[in-house]
Amino acid sequence: MLPTSYQHWRQELVKTVLDQVQSLNPELIAVSLRRRFVEQFRPASAFICLSEQDQGALVHEIASLDFMADTDEPAKRFDNLIYGLMLSQIEALPAYHTAKRQPCGLMNELEQKITIPQIKARLPLIQTVTTDEFWTAGDLLAFEKVRQELRELIKFIIENGQEKSAVITNLYDPIINRNEGVVMEAAYDYGDYKMKVNRYVNDHQDTLAIQKLRKNIPLTQTDYQVLEHILTIELGSKADYQREFGETPFGLLIRKIAKLEPQAAMAAFSDFIDDQTLNQSQIVFVRKVIDYVVQNSYIENVTELMKPPFDKPQSFGKLFDLTKQQRLVEIVKAVKENAVRIG
């Protein structure tokens, strides 16, 4: 039986996960696709005794649905570091003994900034982390205390633990001409055109061309001309568009702003998902692709399928045979091409 202190910690962790699961919006496509697992872990009773299968479902089906509102990125990276150390210690991985270098390095950086009141107040704990006794004990609760009390201090460390040297530039600006009483033209506001484009797209979602892009329907020549008129005449000039968006096709730009409807993304991959030969791991991969397309409106290049977040726990090449790989790649390409191709 776990000591009382560990029981309390487990209760806190379970409450955190339970709150996150219960707060998931069932109307989101990513949540509805995993409804069975979401409903399984909504009651607190589901966490009384977790089997290996339950743990796998939490990791592979539930974890990706959670969104952390905390905007302190250094603190979240520190959370990830400490949690990784905890797992290494629990599983007795060899990496545990070498992984202490990074947190010890962070503690040394913090000690060098002792003039900061928040760091000075936590100095005893900071110094404890660098001792051999701390790492020999391998106390998970001690790790958790370090994570909770020091995570907000990491922002005081320059990224990668390296100070950025100051750059001093001495500029000499000679006067070569003088004009008085001449009204100068207003400087071009580089953000103004982009802001107008974003506002127009968001305010005119019912426009036929924008609806087609959101629903993954190819544009007609008339639709294209409407977008061209809006982007290069009504809202600005061709030069404005070129300056802000380069060679980005009109359809891809509008799709990126307006977003692809979840139902349209699901429909694009529905035949592939309905293939009865797909196993659970393959279905999870396809759902991850759908979620990515919903969030980003399209996949820029099919090589992205071999990169994060698609490379774990199994890579695209290992999950699917060549026939299925080609079929999935064709669908990914078609979703993007439907925003560019003129039907």
- Note the pLDDT tens digit of each residue in 167-196: 455 555 566 666 655 544 444 444 478 878
Please tell me the predicted confidence (pLDDT) of residue 186.
43
**146-151 contacts: CB < 8 A, separation 24 or more?**
146/82, 146/103, 147/78, 147/79, 147/82, 147/83, 149/122, 149/125, 150/78, 150/110, 150/122, 150/125, 150/126, 151/72, 151/75, 151/78, 151/79
In-domain check, residue 13: yes
Across 277-286, average pLDDT: 90
Whole-number average pLDDT of the chain:
84
129: pLDDT strictly greater than 50: yes
The secondary structure element, H or E, covering residue 11 is helix 4-22
* Nearest residue to 75 via CA among 142, 152, 149, 146: 152
Across 221-236, average pLDDT: 93
Across 8-32, average pLDDT: 85
Number of domains in the chain: 4
Please tell me the predicted confidence (pLDDT) of residue 30.
80
Across 30-50, average pLDDT: 87
Return the structure tokens found at 252. 């891809």
Question: Do residues 126 and 142 share a domain?
Answer: yes
In-domain check, residue 342: no
289: pLDDT strictly greater than 90: yes
Question: Final residue of a domain: which of 258, 275, 298?
Answer: 258
Question: Do residues 239 and 289 share a domain?
Answer: no
Of 141-145, 155-159, 294-298, where does mean pLDDT reach its minimum?
155-159
In-domain check, residue 149: yes
Question: Final residue of a domain: which of 19, 43, 65?
Answer: 65
264: pLDDT strictly greater than 90: yes
Across 274-294, average pLDDT: 89
Residue 244: count other Cβ atoms within 10 Å of its Cβ.
18
Question: Do residues 32 and 82 share a domain?
Answer: no
14: pLDDT strictly greater than 50: yes
Residue 95: count other Cβ atoms within 10 Å of its Cβ.
13
Determine the 3-state secondary structure of 189 from DSSP.
coil
Please tell me the predicted confidence (pLDDT) of residue 311.
85
Domain limits for position 107: 73-161
286: pLDDT strictly greater than 90: yes
199: pLDDT strictly greater than 80: yes
Question: Do residues 106 and 151 share a domain?
Answer: yes
Please tell me the predicted confidence (pLDDT) of residue 159.
47
Return the structure tokens found at 15. 């409450």
Please tell me the predicted confidence (pLDDT) of residue 209.
93
Please tell me the predicted confidence (pLDDT) of residue 55.
83
Question: Do residues 327 and 279 share a domain?
Answer: yes
In-domain check, residue 176: no
Residue pair 213/160 in contact (Cβ under 8 Å)? The answer is no
Question: Do residues 110 and 34 share a domain?
Answer: no
Question: Do residues 127 and 199 share a domain?
Answer: no
In-domain check, residue 172: no
Measured CA to CA, the distance from residue 184 to residue 180 in angstroms comes to: 10
**Residue 157: which pLDDT band, with cuts at 50, 70 and 90?**
confident
Determine what percent of the chain is predicted with pLDDT higher than 70.
Answer: 88
In-domain check, residue 125: yes
Measured CA to CA, the distance from residue 282 to residue 327 in angstroms comes to: 13
In-domain check, residue 209: yes
Question: Do residues 87 and 118 share a domain?
Answer: yes
Question: Do residues 205 and 279 share a domain?
Answer: no
**Residue 215: which pLDDT band, with cuts at 50, 70 and 90?**
very high
Across 208-234, average pLDDT: 93
Question: Do residues 202 and 153 share a domain?
Answer: no
Question: Do residues 79 and 154 share a domain?
Answer: yes
Please tell me the predicted confidence (pLDDT) of residue 53.
86
161: pLDDT strictly greater than 80: no
122: pLDDT strictly greater than 60: yes
Task: Give me the phi and psi of 219, to 5 degrees please.
Answer: -85, 150
147: pLDDT strictly greater than 50: yes
Question: Final residue of a domain: which of 258, 277, 295?
Answer: 258
In-domain check, residue 57: yes
**Residue 162: which pLDDT band, with cuts at 50, 70 and 90?**
very low
Of 45-49, 67-71, 227-231, where does mean pLDDT reach its minimum?
67-71
Question: Do residues 49 and 84 share a domain?
Answer: no
